[in-house]
Amino acid sequence: MNPEAGATGPRLWRSLEELAQDPATGSAAVAARLAVGNAAVGKAGHAAAQLDAGAGFDRREFLRNLGASFALAGLTGCSRPPQGEIVPYVRAPQGQVDGVPRFFATALTRNGYAHGVLVESHMGRPTKIEGNPAHPASLGATDIFAQAAVLQLWDPDRSQSVVHRGENASWNDATGALLATTARLAPRRGAGLHLLTGAVTSPTLAAQIDAFLARYPEARWYVHEPLADDERLAGARLAFGTALATRLHLDRARVILALDSDFLSDPAAGPRYARDFIATRAPETKAGVTSRLYVLESTPSVTGSMADHRLPLGHRHIETFARQLARRLGVDVAAPAESDPRLSRWLKVLAAELAANRGAALVTVGAAQPAWLHALGHRLNAFLGAAGTTVSYSEPVEKQAGERAALADLVGASAAGAVDTLIVLAANPVYDAPSDLDFAAALARVPHLVHLGLYRDETGALAEWHLPQAHSLETWSDARAFDGTASLAQPLIAPLYDGRSAHELLAMLLGEEITDGRELVRRHWRSRLPDDDAWYRALRAGLIEGSALPPVMPAVSADFLSQPPATPEPEGLELLFRPDPTVADGSWANNGWLQEVPKPLT
């Protein structure tokens, strides 16, 4: 009996070769399928010509062919496990079983802060990321940026080689040139040598920066984080006399007032804050008592969408509202007279709610608000008995050494001709620096620019030396979470594009014998993890137990309260810049998953 007689299902082939030999298929279809497959492995020019030959495809046929090309790319691709051991989550199996996934605990960073994750790996290839249940920054949750990190790892647009003045070069070439530069500047104690990084919470990297500045005392280190919380730290200085990090304990709060604060989308602690907040909304976990959330905001937010009571209010009016609320609560602060009946009703209800829930109330202020309002938020929390219950403080998680300088200082030094060599680590200031600084013009006055980055982006394109950076899933590192918990990051795969980490680059610049990322991280933690058992336990857990920063109980100064209200601005349109919920400040714009994911609010 003919096996094809009476067949009504789809026609199947075991391979592309069998498809090509089937006389029932047209050459155009075969050419198109082969062309899309070739495009997947990098033969773009040949693919374009073949696709032109099959230009009559409809959308459904094209998507079917595209799916086949992805399957082909997956079958023809290869991966290399990292050199040296990596430790699976919970317990290491005796051997690899084909088709059975393995899970590894590691850490990804966002704005410098660690998020503990579990990475699913198939045959040495990372395929899926979820939260680490044992990590305080996630409790098993994750966000879209952690999910999208897998696609970022495999992004063919990532930087794939060293580039010197627009031409491909090698790491040996770059190493020789950089060592010659440091040797030339060493007699000047590093004068003219400048280092620019993003926010640094990595204890290993912080120690390396200290060693760099000790080796070259006249060198300068600058920090630029486009979505930083500088106003929060400045507000803490006003209120406490020193910079302190603020941690919210939403699971302990009965009444929450968010002043332009989207804490559920916080880059450092959003997943944890979401878990804690939701815990207060489940009656069975709070003896039948749920929290109440009041939100005043100038733009719609995820936190605002969860509010019990939400008040849209212009950015310029939020400080005035907070001053009037503080006066109603009995805080001696200058405040204009109440003139809006609607706002007066809100003030009356809020003052009563907060006062009735002392010890279980919480006031949080958004990062876009000025430092003075953050200081007032600390004063209100102290007045309401929130310190130590619904809010706590610690030393800053980010490195805050005295040698830290602002980006404007670097621009000024460049204009003065004081910058001989600028080394930029995993930052893109040409793209995201404030436009009034005209950072690109400042770089034109810098003789030697070295850029380490995942992409040859706007800054990399202007660099004398662009160096490919290893992805977070390709390298050893460490970082602290929002509460200071130290997390270890281990590689799931060897670097796909010959990238190296900031640890390895700084070790090379310091002339150290040890330049391997694993050894650099382990050396830093050797006093805390002295033997192999302790080291492997930390790797399996993805964190170092007991490493969170201890809380402090600072006294709140009242000196700042005497500052008078700002002169009212004339009414009119406000222009506010906010990070996109899916591509942030644009740094994730090359990620297709994040481009396609729906916005939380439309």
Q: 78-92, 187-201, 551-565: which has the highest mean pLDDT?
A: 187-201
Tokens of 322: 């907070």
Which has the minimum average pLDDT: 30-34, 191-195, 338-342, 598-602?
Answer: 30-34
C-alpha–C-alpha distance, residues 361 and 349, integer Å? 14
CA atoms of 497 and 171, how far apart (whole Å): 12
Query: Mutual orientation of helices 44-53 and 27-40 as an angle, nearest 10°?
Result: 160
- Give pLDDT, residue 229: 84
Please report, for the chain, the start and end positions of each structural domain, with discontinuous segments joined by +. 16-76, 245-394+554-566
Nearest to 506 by CA among 224, 202, 212, 222: 212
Lookup: tokens for 242: 């020193």
Q: Which two tokens stand for residue 477?
A: 């590192």
Among the listed residues 477, 479, 475, 467, the one whose alpha carbon sits nearest the alpha carbon of residue 492:
475
Cα gap 31→47, rounded to integer Å: 9
Please say whether the beta carbons of 114 and 201 come within 8 A. yes
> In the prediction, which pLDDT does 284 show?
65
Q: What are 580's strand-pairing partners?
A: 584
User: Of 154, 105, 205, 59, whose CA–CA distance to 495 is shortest?
Assistant: 154
What DSSP assignment string belongs to 441-484? Answer: HHHTT-SEEEEEESS--HHHHH-SEEEEBPPTTSS-EEEE-TT-
CB burial of residue 311 (10 Å; 0-12, 13-18, 19+): middle
Average pLDDT over residues 77-104: 64
Residue 68: what pLDDT? 38
536, with CB counted inside 10 A (0-12, 13-18, 19+), is middle
Which of 50-59, 169-178, 211-220 is predicted least confidently? Answer: 50-59
Note whether 268 and 370 are within 8 A (CB): no
Question: Mean per-residue pLDDT for 20-34?
Answer: 50
Q: Residue 81, SS3?
A: coil
Structure tokens at 295: 């939100």
**pLDDT-based confidence at 47, cuts 50/70/90?**
very low
Burial class, 192, CB count within 10 angstroms (exposed 0-12 / middle 13-18 / buried 19+): buried
pLDDT of residue 601: 87
Is the C-alpha dihedral spanning 339, 345, 349, 350 positive or negative? negative
Is the model's pLDDT at 156 over the cut of 80?
Answer: yes
Rounded to whole angstroms, how far apart are CA atoms 466 and 449? 8
Confidence of residue 14 (pLDDT cuts 50, 70, 90): low
The per-residue pLDDT for 95 is 59
Locate 362 and state its tokens: 């919480």
Classified as helix, coil or strand, 367 is coil
Q: Hey, what are 81's tokens?
A: 């496990």
Mean pLDDT of 156-168: 96
At residue 546, the 3 state secondary structure works out as coil
Provide the CB-side half-sphere exposure for 372 (13 A, CA).
Answer: 15
If one compares 149 and 567, the residue with the highest pLDDT of the two is 149
26 pLDDT higher than 80: no
CA distance 167 to 99: 42
Nearest one of 274, 267, 268 to 251, comparing CA atoms: 274
Residue 588 has pLDDT above 70, yes or no: yes
Across the range 268-279, mean pLDDT stands at 95
Q: Are 106 and 150 in contact (CB under 8 A)?
A: no
- CA distances from residue 90 to 96, 133, 482, 486 in whole angstroms, order as listed: 15, 12, 24, 18
Q: How far apart are CA 379 and CA 373, in angstroms?
A: 10
**CATH pick for 245-394+554-566 out of 3.30.420.40, 1.10.240.10, 3.40.50.300, 3.40.228.10:** 3.40.228.10
Task: Give the per-residue pLDDT at 539.
Answer: 96
Residue range 432-491, pLDDT digits in tens: 999 999 999 999 999 999 999 999 999 999 999 999 999 999 999 999 999 999 999 999
pLDDT tens-digit series, residues 397-434: 999 755 457 889 999 999 999 999 999 999 999 999 99
Instruction: Tell me what the pLDDT averaged over the chain comes to.
Output: 86
In this predicted structure, what is the pLDDT of residue 570? 75
Q: Torsion-angle region of residue 111: left (phi > 0), alpha (psi -120 to 50) or beta? A: left
Can you count the helices (H) and strands (E) in the chain? 21, 19
Q: Return the pLDDT at 571.
A: 78
Please give the pLDDT value at position 3.
36
**Confidence category of residue 7, pLDDT binned at 50, 70, 90:** very low
Rounded CA-CA distance 35/45 in Å is 10
Closest CA to 120 of 112, 110, 128: 128
